[in-house]
Amino acid sequence: MSGTLIWTDRLRIERAVWTFNSYLQTLPMRSQTAKRRELRVNLRAASADVGTKEALRRLGNVRTMAADYIIAEYGGPRPSWWAAIYVALPAFVLMFWLSNARIDAFKGGVIAANPHATGLFHWHGVAYVFTEATFTFVNGKATEVGGTLLPLVYVCIFGLAILVGRLWRVLPTSRRQFAIDSDSE
Amino acid sequence: MPPTHDPQLLKGVLSLLLLRLLADRESYGYEVVQSLHQLGLSDISDGTVYPALARLERESRVSARLVSSSSGPARKYYRPTKAGYAALTDGVSAWLSLADVVTPVLSRPYPPQPVQPTKEV
């Protein structure tokens, strides 16, 4: 079938296929390749049937088609790594800032009571957020052990990032691709 | 010239049509388009059908496999899954039930357009 196509027809088909592909940039690379191949095969079949000009006309707007493919792939708005990063990064910065503020506040409190404080001071932490901390003061200078973020904080931030970025929609795509690849082998 | 169909109406029933055609015969994208054209739905663009097949695949209503072709690269053939057949049964029943209600109403003869009222002076 494709043998009947002359080189100009092939070029026009390739142009349509790669224009279509340029609108699929948000899809995983393997998915883009699969869709490109499928469109090429369909266009070649259509071209052999009704001619390249008519085949391309019947295809319609490739940008609209690509948008439909993206919705079909993700079942709605596509996942956004950037949205996930925009949420996770400030959340981590905020939590680390709070952690430093907590250290400074505790030290400040001890030094305010006794500018030349010496000895061990214990801070009980915050349930589910910060671990307990021990401050060693020597003549008003402090070093600390503990007081780090608890794993629950990391879990919550990652959970929030997944939720905001709709990252769960990335997973089924790769699973489906694997199934197709297995079928074709 | 073949009659044109409301794109919104077609879009609503396209998945059902695709499942029905694929239940008849495992097909690849352009073959499905040809079947739709033969049914008289020539105003459905190919670019509407291909993503619709991808959506059915995501919803696990059709499964796909690559079949090598003697005339070119491998083609992706689709066929309904068990879930696809269940969706087809439900969809056909819902469509026929709706048509049973709507068709008699719409095919009833309606009075001619009323005469425009004269302007009051």
Q: What is the pLDDT of residues A123-159, one digit of tens each?
A: 888 888 888 889 999 988 888 888 888 999 999 999 9
ipTM: 0.81
Supply the pLDDT for residue A53. Answer: 94
* pLDDT on residue A185: 40
- pLDDT reported for residue A46: 93
- What is the overall mean pLDDT for chain A? 86
Q: Which of residues 118-177 of A touch B (CB under 8 A)?
A: 172, 176
A53 inside 8 A of chain B by CB: no
The residue among B68 and B30 whose pLDDT is bigger is B30
Closest CB to A38: pick one of B29, B55, B72. Answer: B29
Q: Which residue of A has its CA nearest to B72?
A: A2
Among residues B49, B56, B58, B63, which one has the least CA distance to residue B11? B49
Q: Identify all chain B residues contacting A1, using CB atoms and an 8 Å cutoff.
A: 69, 71-72
Mean pLDDT of chain B: 89
Q: Is B85 on the interface with A (CB under 8 A)?
A: no
A183 interaction partners in chain B (CB closer than 8 Å): 63-66
Confidence of residue A181 (pLDDT cuts 50, 70, 90): very low
Q: Taking 50 as the threshold, does the pLDDT of residue B28 lie above it?
A: yes
Q: What is the mean pLDDT of residues A76-88?
A: 84
Q: What's the pLDDT score for residue A144?
A: 87
Q: List the single residue in B with minimal CA-CA distance to A175.
A: B58
Cβ-defined contact of B30 to A71 (cutoff 8 Å): no
pTM score of the predicted model: 0.66
Q: How far apart are CA B77 and CA B58, in angstroms?
A: 15
Distance CA A67, CA A141 (A): 61
What confidence tens digit (pLDDT) does each residue in B76-120 have?
Answer: 999 999 999 999 999 999 999 999 999 999 998 887 877 667 666
Nearest to B58 among A1, A35, A176 (CB): A176
DSSP assignment string, chain A: -GGG--HHHHHHHHHHHHHHHHTTTTS-HHHHHHHHHHHHHHHHHHHHHH-HHHHHHHH--HHHHHHHHHHHHHTSSPP-HHHHHHHHHHHHHHHHHHHHHHHHHHHHHHHHH-TT--EEEEE--BTTTB--EEEEEETTEEEEEE-PBPHHHHHHHHHHHHHHHTGGGHHHHHHHHHHHHHHH-
pLDDT (tens digit, 9 = 90+) per residue, A89-133?
Answer: 999 999 989 888 888 888 899 989 988 888 999 888 888 888 888
Judged against a pLDDT cut of 80, whether residue B46 lies above it is answered with yes
A166 CA to chain B: closest CA distance, Å?
A: 16
Q: Of all residues in chain B, what percent carry a pLDDT higher than 70?
A: 92
Of A77, A179, B15, A24, give the one whose Cα is nearest residue A39.
Answer: A24
Q: Does B95 touch chain A (CB under 8 A)?
A: no
